[in-house]
Structure 1
């Protein structure tokens, strides 16, 4: 089974996965990949463009391989803001989409305390995109659809 976990930065997507994934599952998380590919002492949530470039390539390679194994294991993929193209692919793969959103004020507080300031822009973009969805199409927080 493929679980696509989405939500704004600092919403708790990784925490949700930690509560649900088993040690035998595959977890594809750009933050974890970036951390694994950077040197000692690098920030846990590194947003350096060159680090992200390498991490994105590794993430897409991991996704391609993991998607071929969905009949053998569960895959948890963090995708903050999947495009329509990605959502269509996830639908073809019969993914469960999980939206993790504790609310905008909590997210902004967490970003202020734990993340790089530019993550505020990403969170704002995520919430603005949600506000543009028709009311009936807006998934509820921490629900699967």
Structure 2
């Protein structure tokens, strides 16, 4: 009968107690091992340490909920929006000052003009544009149309050469809001007698009251350019 080699008992000649398995993470010779990930799996990744996470700050644009890399820089979305806003000109001033006439001289084909009077005409079944007819029933629709166009202009992608916003904007806060967006502010004005005369000749009777109301509401604020007509 053939006799095989003698069985080796664990621990014999190694100094280990017989029958004890090797320590976890070590070979029988005592060397540390690294678990090999299964094929097709990704080794676990440790979360970044707090000191490795870049600091973020609130975007300085009013009302923006996103964060920015520094305290003084805008977030990426507001930066893109601000670059588009530099193509925008807010043309403000009292009624009958000549805002539409000034824009017509400077705008080019394909430019966007946001004019509340034009929107009233667009939604009116029988408009009388020369009288600046503004039926009260159409007011919410005209305002909603203006707000929708403005929102698309500021927040959507577009390839406009320029946009012109015709808005009386007597309050400095309104002009400051557009300036914060990067728009250029142009104030069109005329003396009181010229405004009143134009209203009497070109507009309905209530336009004289609109002119007085604009001057009552007017507050000083930033203007990039002032144009006097008349």
Q: Please tell me the TM-score bracket, short chain as reference.
A: 0.7 to 0.9
Q: Which of 1 and 2 has greater Rg?
A: 2
Which one of 144, 149, 152 corresponds to residue 57 of structure 1?
144
| Correspondent of 2:176 among 72, 81, 88 | 88
Number of residue pairs matched by the alignment: 138
Question: Which residue of structure 2 lines up, in the alignment, with residue 125 of structure 1?
Answer: 213
Q: Which has the higher contact order (CA 8 A, sep 6+)?
A: 1
Aligned partner (choices 39, 43, 66) of residue 128 of structure 2: 43
Normalized per residue, which structure has more helix? 1
Whole-Å separation in 1 of the counterparts to 2:156 and 2:109: 16
Q: Could you list the runs of 5+ residues in structure 2 that have no partner in the other structure?
A: 1-86
CA deviation string 1:46-100 (max 9, x = no partner):
1211122211110111111112358732110011025455333312211111111
Structure 1 residue runs without a partner (length 5+): none
Question: What is the TM-score normalised by the length of structure 1?
Answer: 0.82
Residue 68 of structure 1 is matched in structure 2 by 155
Looking at structure 1, the residues matched to 205 and 115 of structure 2 have their Cα atoms a distance apart, in angstroms, of 20
Could you say what secondary structure the match of 1:117 adopts? coil
State the match for 1:4 in structure 2.
90
CA distance in structure 2 between the aligned counterparts of 1:51 and 1:71, rounded to whole angstroms: 28
**How much is the aligned-residue C-alpha RMSD, in angstroms?**
2.3
Q: Is the Cα–Cα contact under 8 Å of residues 103 and 164 in structure 2 kept in the other structure?
A: yes
- What is the TM-score of this pair, normalised by structure 2? 0.54
1:30 aligns with 2:116: yes
